């Protein structure tokens, strides 16, 4: 069991049923674990729960929670998705000793299929916005541009490419005078059409440009929210960050350039499932 986790007297399974993936956190006594399934594989999920646990207590959150409750072979309790996510983030921050750095109010950018923004303060939270830009965009645009739809392959290609050549930078526009903002910033994603017409664009550069566009867009939204709510800390979580070093690097660089602090949590994509596990248990200890 990881330090700080509450020991449960009964097997508990927390499920964050997202549009693409079902993120699962489970506990049996002092043992905790993490697992993911494609959301649609309900028969496989039911078999795994039946084989792994004895009469577990199941808590479900996420956009596909209603579908899961109807499809599960066992009864389940439902928890509000945003409450579960924010509770899980706060728990992870405390467990990893980061809450002293982030403070007790911060922005949470949850990047799954799309992106949802939350403001967490003291023991409360508020959803403050979101965007359709997210992991679904990454896979969809990568497929349209290159024919590649496998997530792991997309990330491997992005690591080898450079998306900057497909973009117009601020310095390109202010080519004969000092720019009013850093010249290396992107002025237009995929705006360098003149270059595109002349070049045979490799898949690596096309996908890297998609990653950069997504990273810059998410960061801009998050930083603007942090400015408005007067916090320096932005917590980036979600399945889109799993093994996605190119996206993390872009977001970290851009967040710090804008004067904010970026945090990426290990197992952050399981925040909703962690919050679901802890629902109605030792409430004061994790909120």
Rounded Cα–Cα distance for residues 154 and 137 (Å): 12
* Angle (deg, nearest 10), helices 203-228 and 151-160: 90
204 in catalytic set: no
Give the Cβ contact number of residue 41 at 10 Å. Answer: 12
CA distance 173 to 183: 9
C-alpha distance from residue 170 to each of 127, 149, 232 (Å): 32, 31, 25
User: Taking the alpha carbons of 159, 237, 78, 10 in that order, is the dihedral positive or negative?
Assistant: positive
Would you give the end-to-end CA distance of the chain in angstroms?
20
* Cα distance between residue 147 and residue 198, in whole Å: 21
Specify whether the CB–CB gap between 110 and 116 falls below 8 A: yes
Annotated catalytic residue: which of 81, 83, 95, 216? 81
In angstroms, the CA 159 to CA 224 distance is: 28
Catalytically annotated residues:
81
């Amino acid at each position: 069991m990881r330090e700080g986790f509450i020991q449960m007297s009964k097997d508990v399974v927390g499920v964050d049923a997202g549009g693409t993936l079902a993120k699962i956190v489970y506990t049996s006594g002092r043992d905790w674990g993490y697992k993911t399934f494609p959301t649609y594989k309900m028969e496989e999920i039911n078999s795994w729960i039946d084989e792994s646990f004895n009469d577990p207590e199941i808590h479900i959150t996420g956009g596909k929670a209603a579908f899961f409750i109807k499809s599960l072979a066992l009864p389940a309790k439902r928890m509000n998705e945003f409450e579960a996510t924010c509770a899980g983030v706060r728990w992870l921050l405390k467990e990893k000793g980061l809450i002293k750095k982030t403070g007790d109010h911060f922005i949470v950018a949850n990047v799954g299929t799309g992106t949802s923004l939350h403001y967490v303060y003291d023991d409360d939270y508020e959803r403050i916005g979101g965007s359709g830009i997210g992991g679904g965009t990454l896979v969809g645009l990568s497929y349209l541009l290159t024919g590649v739809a496998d997530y792991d392959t997309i990330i491997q290609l992005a690591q080898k490419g450079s998306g900057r050549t497909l973009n117009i930078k601020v310095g390109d526009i202010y080519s004969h005078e000092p720019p009013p903002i850093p010249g290396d910033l992107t002025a237009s994603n995929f705006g360098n059409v003149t270059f595109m017409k002349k070049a045979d664009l490799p898949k690596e550069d096309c996908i890297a440009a998609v990653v950069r566009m997504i990273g810059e867009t998410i960061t801009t939204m998050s930083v603007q929210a942090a400015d408005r709510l007067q916090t320096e800390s932005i917590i980036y979580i979600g399945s889109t960050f799993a093994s996605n070093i190119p996206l993390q690097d872009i977001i970290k660089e851009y967040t710090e350039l804008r004067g904010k602090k970026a945090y990426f949590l290990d197992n952050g994509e399981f925040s909703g499932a962690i919050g679901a596990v802890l629902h109605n248990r030792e409430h004061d200890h994790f909120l």
